[in-house]
């Protein structure tokens, strides 16, 4: 990870959420469709991309700031 400079400090702050985005083979067989779920402070979304051959998966949860950050 890169180190923040002093000039960036005023723009960088924790938004209360951690988020992961990744792709996977379309093992669910989604065809121009999406799945979304949010319960409490966590949730995910899955939708097909690249002609329905791949999935874009987004998962996140609410949290306080990371340690040291």
Encoded tokens for 49: 């991309």
Domain count, the chain: 1
> What is the C-alpha separation between 62 and 66, in angstroms, rounded?
11
> What is the C-alpha separation between 53 and 32, in angstroms, rounded?
10
* Mean pLDDT, residues 41-53: 97
The reply to whether 7 falls in a domain is no
Instruction: Supply the pLDDT for residue 66.
Output: 81
The reply to whether 24 falls in a domain is yes
> What is the C-alpha separation between 39 and 69, in angstroms, rounded?
27
Instruction: Supply the pLDDT for residue 67.
Output: 81
Confidence of residue 10 (pLDDT cuts 50, 70, 90): confident
The reply to whether 50 falls in a domain is yes
Beta carbons within 10 angstroms of residue 59's beta carbon: 15
The reply to whether 8 falls in a domain is no
The reply to whether 34 falls in a domain is yes
Question: Which residue would you say has higher pLDDT here, 3 or 2?
Answer: 3
The reply to whether 3 falls in a domain is no
> What is the C-alpha separation between 26 and 49, in angstroms, rounded?
9
Question: Which residue would you say has higher pLDDT here, 44 or 7?
Answer: 44
The reply to whether 27 falls in a domain is yes
The reply to whether 67 falls in a domain is no
Domain with 26, as residue range(s), is 17-62
């Amino acid at each position: 990870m890169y180190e923040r400079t002093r000039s960036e400090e005023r723009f960088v702050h924790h938004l209360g959420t951690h988020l992961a985005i990744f792709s996977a083979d379309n093992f669910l067989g989604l065809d121009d469709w999406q799945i979304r779920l949010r319960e409490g402070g966590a949730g995910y979304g899955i939708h097909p991309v690249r002609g329905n051959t791949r999935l874009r998966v987004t998962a996140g949860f609410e949290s306080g700031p990371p340690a040291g950050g």
